[in-house]
């Protein structure tokens, strides 16, 4: 078994954080996405969408998409549970996963593509698109702050996969994308400091 990884990308980091919370050690193999490593013909046989992370099992089965990989490990190693245990917990975690991915990470990706000099040679950039999605990023920050006003973590009072996904996504937005959340969002700031101080955040 091995996990195809790239240190600077947010989606592989989600899986590394998740594995660290589980206490699972998986060999990593770095794929340099900057030089097109994920688009090489031999890698496209593992993931036809040409992205990382990809988990390759001992029988050569390949699983791509970060949350799908996390779900595999949840099934194989259910303790500690990071996808919930009751029907309500599982549904609530799924709800917040969708909100983080669709309501935050998608806009962040659009700002990255249309507003960052590093991606100018990848797509024909439309600055107005970046501006529009910047507003959505900050709207999501405000909603996150509201949720965290009454909850220790995103889906309640227990750390879950949502916190791993949110930390990797928010750090990507704050860093490479250049869209940090405001210091006035005290609940989001508290959460970010807490989860960043967990050992898993350094995975």
Read off the pLDDT of residues 153-185 as tens digits, 9 standing for 90 and up: 999 999 999 999 999 999 999 999 999 999 999
For residues 59 and 99, state if they share a domain.
no
- Token pair of 83 as six digits: 């996808």
Q: Contact 130/110 with Cβ under 8 angstroms? A: yes
Q: 173 and 138, same structural domain?
A: yes
Residue 51 within any structural domain of the chain: yes
Residues forming a β-bridge with 55: 3, 63
Q: pLDDT tens across 113-126, in order?
A: 999 998 998 899 99
- Which helix or strand (DSSP H or E) is residue 2 part of? strand 2-5
Q: Are residues 127 and 173 in the same domain?
A: yes
Quote the domain boundaries for residue 97. 87-202
**pLDDT (tens digit per residue) in 68-78:** 999 999 999 99
Same domain, yes or no, for 98 and 190? yes
Determine whether 88 is exposed, middle or buried from the number of CB atoms within 10 Å of its CB (0-12, 13-18, 19+): exposed
Dist. CA 153–CA 100, nearest whole Å: 13
On whether residue 141 sits in a domain, the answer given is yes
pLDDT in tens, 82-138: 999 999 999 999 999 999 999 999 999 999 999 999 899 889 999 999 999 999 999
Q: Domain check: are 53 and 107 in the same one?
A: no
Residue that finishes a domain, picked among 37, 53, 76? 76
Question: Predicted confidence band at 35 (pLDDT cuts at 50, 70, 90)?
Answer: confident
pLDDT of residue 121: 85
Q: Is residue 81, in this structure, part of any structural domain at all?
A: no
């Amino acid at each position: 078994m091995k996990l195809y990884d790239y240190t600077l990308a947010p989606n592989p980091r989600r899986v590394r954080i998740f594995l660290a919370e589980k206490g699972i050690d998986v060999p990593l193999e770095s794929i340099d996405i900057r030089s097109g490593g994920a688009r090489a013909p031999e890698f496209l046989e593992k993931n036809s969408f040409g992205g990382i992370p990809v988990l390759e099992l001992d029988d050569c089965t390949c699983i791509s998409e970060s949350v799908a990989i996390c779900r595999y490990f949840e099934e194989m190693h259910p303790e500690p549970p990071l996808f919930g245990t009751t029907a309500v917990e599982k549904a609530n975690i799924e709800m917040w996963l969708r909100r983080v991915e669709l309501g935050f990470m998608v806009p962040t990706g659009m700002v990255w593509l249309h507003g960052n000099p590093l991606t100018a040679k990848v797509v024909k950039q439309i600055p107005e698109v970046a501006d529009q999605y910047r507003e959505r990023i900050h709207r999501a920050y405000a909603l996150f702050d509201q949720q965290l006003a009454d909850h220790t973590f995103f889906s309640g009072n227990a750390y879950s996969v949502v916190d791993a996904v949110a930390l990797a996504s928010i750090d990507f937005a704050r860093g490479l994308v250049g869209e940090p959340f405001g210091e006035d969002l005290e609940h989001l700031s508290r959460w970010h400091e807490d989860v960043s101080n967990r050992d898993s955040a350094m995975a």
